[in-house]
Amino acid sequence: MQIIIYDNAQQVAQSAAQWVKELINKKPDPVLGLATGSTPISLYKELVAQYTAGQLSFKNVSTFNLDEYHQIDPANPQSYRSFMHQNLFKHVDIDTNNTSLPTCAVGENPRTQGLAYEQKIKQAGGIDLQILGIGGNGHIGFNEPTSSLSSRTRIKTLTQQTISDNSRLFKQGEVQPTMAMTMGIATIMDARYVVLMATGASKAQAVKEMITGGVSAMCPASALQMHENAIVLLDQAAASELGEKNYYQWANNENRKLIEDYGYFHNY
Ligand code: PGA
């Protein structure tokens, strides 16, 4: 794991945007894994700003989102399809035919939908770079604690903590879904690079467990300890429970020197 601690959330977003930009500029047919939630909104703002400034094009980009609520109408403003449209897709030159979410409409079988999503990712050549947030309970995507470390795209029942964490996003009277389709932990682990963004003190404990705890289904993000190319971007608050901050800082300075000498090493 490469752990990079920034002064603030804005710098975390800029750094994540830099990763996306490197991929898009390097690969003719980049495949990007996307996340929803509050954290990546600032990343999408950065990407839209760069697109608007003519520095970035999404014309050849394919995307796969981590998750989507079960049986939600894509037109529902609470769907993750709507979230992606509002925060990224409608602002850039992406072909929406190349954007996918793990949907499961009324009458569809979650099992076959999950398998089809896995197949679609494979046909696209696999995910080059997966953007992730982390839940206060250590989830990635909607892989809640107890999720098998070998899980693939499937339906999950959300925990009470996730339902209550996300309740802030629902207005009174709006139905909050309790089930979702999500990429599995093994699906995420297949991505060539993983960039996890975490900001704010409410993530500090989960971040500590992810980085310094044992690999365990009780902290799904800890599976990233086994990933060859996992990059964790933190602000000071999210890093506040870590004991090795000086080492991470030093290692990053050393890394930066290598990048200056040899350029980026990303092997997409
Ligand atoms: P958040 O969610 O960015 O809204 O905090 C992150 C997550 O649950 O993965």
What integer pLDDT is reported at residue 195 of this predicted model?
Answer: 98
Average pLDDT of the segment spanning 136-156: 98
For the chain, give the number of residues. Answer: 268
What integer pLDDT is reported at residue 235 of this predicted model?
Answer: 98
Average pLDDT of the segment spanning 155-173: 93
Where do the domains of the chain lie, and which CATH numbers do they carry?
2-67+80-100+126-145+189-262 (3.40.50.1360)
Token pair, residue 36, equals 């929803």
Whether 132 and 35 have beta carbons less than 8 Å apart is answered as: yes
Indicate if ligand 1 lies below 6 Å from the C-beta of 39. yes
Give the model's confidence band at 256: pLDDT under 50 very low, under 70 low, under 90 confident, else very high: confident
Indicate if ligand 1 lies below 6 Å from the C-beta of 180. no
In this predicted structure, the answer to whether residue 264 has a pLDDT above a threshold of 80 is no
Annotation says 137 is catalytic: yes
Whether 268 and 128 have beta carbons less than 8 Å apart is answered as: yes
Indicate if ligand 1 lies below 6 Å from the C-beta of 138. no
Annotation says 266 is catalytic: no
What integer pLDDT is reported at residue 96 of this predicted model?
Answer: 98
What atom of ligand 1 comes closest to residue 197's alpha carbon?
3
**Nearest residue to 121 via CA among 195, 206, 63:** 63
Round the average pLDDT of the chain to a whole number and report it.
96
**Nearest residue to 99 via CA among 76, 70, 68, 132:** 68
What integer pLDDT is reported at residue 23 of this predicted model?
Answer: 95
155 strand-pairing partners: 181
63 strand-pairing partners: 32, 99
Distance CA 118, CA 254 (A): 38
Token pair, residue 209, equals 């467990």
Annotation says 246 is catalytic: no
Give the model's confidence band at 5: pLDDT under 50 very low, under 70 low, under 90 confident, else very high: very high
H helix runs in 134-214, sequence order = 160-166, 185-189, 204-212
Distance CA 204, CA 153 (A): 27
Distance CA 118, CA 113 (A): 9
Mutation pick for ligand 1 pocket among 12, 38, 176, 199 (CB with most ligand atoms within 8 Å): 38
Distance CA 159, CA 145 (A): 8
Active-site entry in 46, 67, 128, 190:
67
